[in-house]
């Protein structure tokens, strides 16, 4: 009851006209920035950070929360319509969401994403309010061995499930890991795969790879096929901007499963919502393969619903981890941690005692932001879908322009534009020859975490590899992985047997 009373006081503070204005403004800004290729909520918060010195802390953080959640909505919009996610957390939504758009179901795909984000965000907000202490204690049990097991689980699951060919999936994963290790080794200071170029000493930025592989590669792919008369490259649209009862029933279990997958990742520092979105997509695809009529690869609504719910549930829990532990588990949370320090505040358990008005108003604003974003995105799903009416030569020229502007705004270096072009050609070749993109992206995202965790675990055990399987959490992770691999092998054998017959 005490928690409920504090939350009601937070709503009283957050629902003042001025604070409500900052929530709405943050949601609009986050959504607007999210639809720009190469930008995202972290970029928006970073750009707005110097502008908030004149605001009092509660107003500033309420606006930041709106930007944080709004950025995810905007990322998903462009991922679905243009196959161009604003940041890595929306990559998994492109696989089935963009196929839905190509099949004339753009408005339904956007509605699915909006509802999934709303459900995931609302459940996460409730969990932050009620279960933050318990979940924070659970996150402290993760050490280097657990992080490595988690990364390995994501590698194997993504490579074997997303790809029709396991060998091609593994090849794509190795390519992503290779990109991730370019730069200066943080432990030894040794140059790795830089070819003596100073511009590569800091590595290849994830945002450059994401935009090049998914956006620019798609532009090249479309351009290469535009003169093929037997290919219908137009993205059709339908007039129905809502989900039918059958579509809602189909998506509902995936929303719930995605939310459940995303919640724990909000308190485990694995880089944000990229990992749970991939795992949610992989779980739905694995379930789809057990059906008599598999839908994945043809615009499966569950393949979009689960990642959207997972991404927003992770984001909501990440804010809880930041407030209760002072632990930033994503780039945006790290920037918000800097914003807290800008105001002389230190997130953690003491923040709830020293600044209860700020904390509970911020927690209340999570619920408000979810409602505002649903009100912004759901009714306008059909309006967003009209972006597809833009002639293709203008549309993809604009995407190319925004790709370049987004990368140049991030780094300010011409070299990164050349790197964008080179990796974009790689993305085109992968599409041309049927190599999956998801394993490359997950290798790029989790490669540094896996490497660092493996090194730390072996250093702590003086080189004894048994440390990697020395805790109950690692046993559970590897056990689930073994079961998944067994089912994959069995499914492959069954398919081969049916083909032979």
DSSP string, 53-92: TTS-HHHHHHHHHHHHHHHHHHHHHHHHHHS--SSGGGHH
In a domain, 249, yes or no: yes
pLDDT of residue 257: 93
Instruction: Say whether pLDDT at 232 is over 70.
Output: no
pLDDT of residue 255: 92
CA distance 427 to 222: 12
The stretches of 181-244 forming alpha helices (DSSP H) are 206-210, 217-225
In a domain, 233, yes or no: no
Report, as an integer, the average pLDDT of 168-182: 86
In a domain, 100, yes or no: yes
CA distance 104 to 382: 11
Instruction: Say whether pLDDT at 203 is over 60.
Output: yes
pLDDT of residue 214: 72
Instruction: Say whether pLDDT at 259 is over 50.
Output: yes
Lowest mean pLDDT among 223-227, 440-444, 456-460, 480-484: 223-227
Report, as an integer, the average pLDDT of 55-59: 84
Contact 276, 314 (CB under 8 A): yes
Return the bridge partners of 236, or none: 103
Name the pTM for this structure: 0.65
Report, as an integer, the average pLDDT of 31-39: 65
Q: Which residue has the higher pLDDT, 304 or 442?
A: 304
Tokens 């988690």 identify what position? 150
pLDDT of residue 388: 59
Contact 184, 198 (CB under 8 A): no
User: What are the phi and psi torsion angles at 470 (to 5°)?
Assistant: -105, 0
Q: Which residue has the higher pLDDT, 388 or 287?
A: 287
Instruction: Say whether pLDDT at 226 is over 70.
Output: no
Res. 353 pLDDT band, cuts 50 70 90: confident
In a domain, 265, yes or no: yes
* Tokens, residue 451: 């490497």
Q: What are the Cα distances from residue 309, in Å, to 250, 255, 405?
A: 14, 5, 30
Lowest mean pLDDT among 162-166, 237-241, 390-394: 237-241
Contact 124, 104 (CB under 8 A): no
State the residue range of the domain holding 248.
1-225+240-470
Return the bridge partners of 184, or none: 191
Number of structural domains in the chain? 1
Instruction: Say whether pLDDT at 330 is over 80.
Output: no
In a domain, 497, yes or no: no
pLDDT of residue 61: 84
In a domain, 481, yes or no: no
Instruction: Say whether pLDDT at 412 is over 80.
Output: no
CA distance 150 to 478: 9
In a domain, 322, yes or no: yes
pLDDT of residue 299: 80
* Tokens, residue 331: 């780039």
Nearest to 280 by CA among 259, 301, 249, 252: 259
**C-alpha angle with apex 218: 90 to 154, nearest 5 degrees?**
40
Report, as an integer, the average pLDDT of 226-235: 50
Instruction: Say whether pLDDT at 414 is over 50.
Output: yes
Q: Is 236 helix (H, G, I), strand (E, B) or coil?
A: strand
Q: Which residue has the higher pLDDT, 178 or 445?
A: 178
Contact 114, 73 (CB under 8 A): yes
In a domain, 486, yes or no: no
């Amino acid at each position: 009851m005490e928690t409920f009373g504090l939350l009601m006081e937070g709503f009283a503070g957050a629902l003042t006209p001025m604070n409500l204005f900052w929530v709405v403004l943050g949601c609009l800004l986050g959504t607007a920035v999210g639809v720009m290729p190469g930008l995202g909520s972290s970029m928006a918060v970073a750009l707005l950070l110097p502008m908030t010195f004149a605001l009092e802390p509660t107003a500033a953080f309420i606006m930041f929360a709106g930007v944080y959640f709004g950025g995810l909505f905007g990322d998903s919009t462009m991922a679905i319509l243009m196959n161009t996610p604003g940041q890595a957390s929306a990559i998994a939504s492109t696989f089935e969401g963009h196929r839905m758009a190509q099949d004339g179901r753009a408005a339904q795909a956007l509605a699915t994403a909006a509802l999934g984000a709303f459900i995931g965000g609302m459940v996460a907000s409730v969990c932050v309010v009620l279960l933050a202490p318990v979940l924070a204690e659970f996150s402290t049990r993760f050490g280097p061995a657990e992080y490595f097991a988690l990364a390995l689980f994501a590698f194997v699951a993504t490579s074997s499930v997303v790809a029709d060919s396991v060998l091609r999936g593994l090849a794509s994963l190795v390519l992503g890991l290779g990109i991730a290790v370019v730069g200066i080794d943080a432990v030894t200071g040794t140059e790795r795969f830089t070819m003596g170029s100073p511009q590569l000493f800091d590595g290849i930025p994830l945002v450059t790879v994401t935009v090049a592989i998914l956006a620019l590669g798609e532009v090249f792919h479309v351009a290469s096929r535009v003169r093929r008369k037997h290919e219908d490259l137009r993205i059709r649209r339908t007039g129905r901007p809502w989900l039918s009862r059958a579509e809602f029933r189909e998506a509902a279990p995936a929303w719930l499963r995605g939310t459940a997958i995303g919640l724990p990742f909000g308190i485990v520092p694995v880089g944000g919502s990229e990992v749970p979105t991939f795992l949610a997509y992989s779980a739905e695809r694995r379930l789809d393969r057990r059906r008599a009529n598999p839908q994945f690869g043809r615009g499966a609504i569950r393949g979009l619903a689960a990642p959207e719910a997972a991404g927003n549930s992770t984001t909501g829990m990440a804010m809880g981890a930041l407030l209760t532990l002072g632990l930033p588990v994503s780039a945006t949370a790290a920037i918000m941690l800097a914003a807290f320090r800008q105001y002389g505040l230190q997130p953690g358990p003491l923040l709830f005692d020293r600044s209860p008005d700020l904390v509970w108003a911020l927690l209340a604003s999570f619920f408000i932001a979810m409602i505002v974003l649903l009100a912004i995105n759901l009714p306008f799903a059909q309006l967003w879908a009209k972006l597809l009416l833009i002639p293709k030569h203008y549309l993809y020229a604009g995407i190319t322009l925004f790709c370049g502007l987004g990368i140049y705004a991030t780094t300010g270096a011409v070299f990164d534009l050349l790197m964008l072009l080179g990796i974009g050609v790689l993305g085109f070749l992968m599409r041309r020859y049927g190599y999956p993109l998801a394993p490359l992206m997950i290798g790029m995202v989790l490669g540094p975490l896996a490497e660092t965790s493996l090194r730390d675990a072996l250093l702590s055990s003086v080189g004894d590899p048994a440390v990697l399987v020395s805790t109950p959490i690692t046993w559970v992770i590897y056990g689930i992985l073994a079961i998944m691999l067994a089912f994959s092998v069995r499914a492959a054998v069954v398919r081969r047997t049916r083909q032979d017959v």
